[in-house]
Amino acid sequence: MRTPLLALLAVAACGEVPDASTIDAPVAVDAPEAPNLIMNGDFAAGTLHWTPVDTTLTIVNGGLELRQVTAGGPGLAWQMVFLTPGATYQLSATFVAGSYPRSYHVRVGTQTNDATFATYGEGASTTFTLPTDASAGVWVTLNNVSAQVDEYAIFDDVRLIAAP
């Protein structure tokens, strides 16, 4: 029979030496996942915390659809987040669907639709370090690249976490 480690420590504290063959091996514990710094990045609360620009925001199958309402510029949805200058972050998102291929970006910058710090388009994620002289407040922008009325892009699982 194997003896739990805490019980063995208690016995050892009393001066008895435990038999090494009865000690349970340490159990690996996964580190908790870093919190998402994007508010409502899974869109479970609808469009809450996302501000539209030249687009309508609608929840479609759990994702956020940006549908272009004016011609000329891309439809956007943004929110401001506060980061630590000098720290490294990981940005990712799921592109669910769109009017045409590659019709989306997620950007992090000094204003809406600015990519000073990061642009995410495809792949697992992108990692960036916020410069030490940068303002802590940055904009995260979902971008429907199209400039045509009624074009759309659907995003889900937008995540910005401190890099592991």
Q: What is the 3-state secondary structure (H, E, C) of 103-147?
A: CEEEEEECCCCCCCCEEECCCCCEEEECCCCCCCEEEEEEEECCC
Please state, in angstroms and rounded to a whole number, the distance separating the CA atoms of residues 60 and 109.
Answer: 27
| Residues 57-64, mean pLDDT to the nearest whole number | 96
The answer as to CATH 2.60.120.260 being correct for domain 51-162 is yes
**pLDDT at position 148:** 84
pLDDT at residue 23 in the model: 58
Question: Residue 86 has what pLDDT?
Answer: 94
Q: Which residues contact 55 (CB under 8 A, 6 or more apart)?
A: 66, 67, 68, 69, 75, 76, 77, 144
Which residue, 60, 38, 163, 55, is CA-closest to 108? 38
> What is the percent of the chain where pLDDT is above 70?
77
pLDDT exceeds 80 at position 80 = yes
Lookup: tokens for 26? 């340490």
d(CA 153, CA 130): 27
Mean pLDDT of the chain: 83
Whether residue 145 has pLDDT greater than 60: yes
**pTM of structure:** 0.77
Phi, psi of 90 (to 5 degrees): -120, 130
Least confident residue range of 12-16, 28-32, 111-115 = 12-16
Hey, where are the domains in the chain?
Answer: 1-30, 51-162
